[in-house]
Amino acid sequence: MARRYDTRTTIFSPEGRLYQVEYAMEAISHAGTSLGILATDGILLAAERRNTNKLLDEVFFSEKIYKLNDDMVCSVAGITSDANVLTNELRLIAQRYLLQYGESIPCEQLVSWLCDVKQAYTQYGGKRPFGVSILYMGWDKHYGYQLYQSDPSGNYGGWKATCIGNNSAAAVSSLKQEYKENETTLAEAQALAIKVLSKTLDMTKLTPEKVEMATLTRKNDKTVIRILTSTEVEKLIANFEKSEAEAEAAKKQAPKS
């Protein structure tokens, strides 16, 4: 009975592609955007909130940003229920390491471990892959601040700035132009994040309800993880709109002179 489904999800196509993995990535490209930026003095993750229905009871502080352990935070894009399973697994992996070695798991090891799990779903079991891409930000004593991205294939990479979800390609090319390696501070990164998010959110105007942002920094030999309040997000959006207006005004003046 299981054989009827077994042959579908985890086999190659004649052109050597894994369709299920590609379909999973397609699902993610319609989901709410998430982006991450590595700064000189910290990292940030910003995400677009899609569940902004007024009838929703405000139980969660954060929809897409999850704390994994004392030194790592992740943000997801894709099928939320799949994401919940994976973040739970990430937390388990992190705690198992802490139990065994008495210290926080190094960032890349956590990402790598979960990606091995994700890869398994593309090779055996007859189960579909997870429809989630994840952005991880964290600090460890080996490599300092790090930003990683993983996708349904189980592939992962380290990034200076990247984006997943809806309009991620446009966001990534925008980041490529504006991001300055080793020169972007956390404050500049926050402004850049708002700028990029405003582009990926299509025509809808940016409001604090639509945006989640979290920062990770180090202070006194300890990691400090903060989820920005809506007042702080509002201020960032206001600053952005002001600078946009100024740029518009400057453009209008330029051809005259």
Which residues are at the interface with another protein (CB under 8 A)? 99-103, 106, 108-109, 141-142
Measured from the CB atom, is 30 or 141 closer to another protein? Answer: 141
CA distance 79 to 122: 17
- Residue 255's φ and ψ, nearest 5 degrees, are -65, -25
- Smaller CB separation from another protein, 59 or 99: 99
Smaller CB distance to another protein: residue 142 or 199? 142
Shortest Cβ 75–another protein spacing (Å): 25
- Using CA atoms, how far residue 120 sits from 12, 152, 156, 173, 231, in Å, is 14, 10, 14, 31, 43
Report how far apart the first and last C-alpha atoms of the chain are (Å, whole number).
77
| Helix locations, 102-167, DSSP H | 107-120
Which C-beta is closer to another protein: that of 63 or that of 140?
140
Q: How far is the CB of 102 from another protein (least distance, A)?
A: 3
What minimum distance in Å lies between the beta carbon of 224 and another protein? Answer: 20
Looking at the Cβ atoms of 141 and 176, the one nearer to another protein is 141
Would you state the structure tokens that stand for residue 119, as one six-digit string? 């890869």
Smallest distance from another protein to CB 221, Å:
10
Q: Which residues contact 80 (CB under 8 A, 6 or more apart)?
A: none
Closest to another protein by CB, 145 or 179: 145
The answer to whether 47 and 201 are in contact (CB under 8 A) is no
Task: Enumerate residues 6+ apart whose C-beta is below 8 A from 145.
Answer: 38, 39, 42, 43, 137, 138, 139, 216
Minimum CB separation of residue 103 from another protein in Å reads 5
27's tokens: 């699902």
Q: Which residues pair with 150 in a beta bridge?
A: 134, 156
Q: How far is the CB of 104 from another protein (least distance, A)?
A: 10
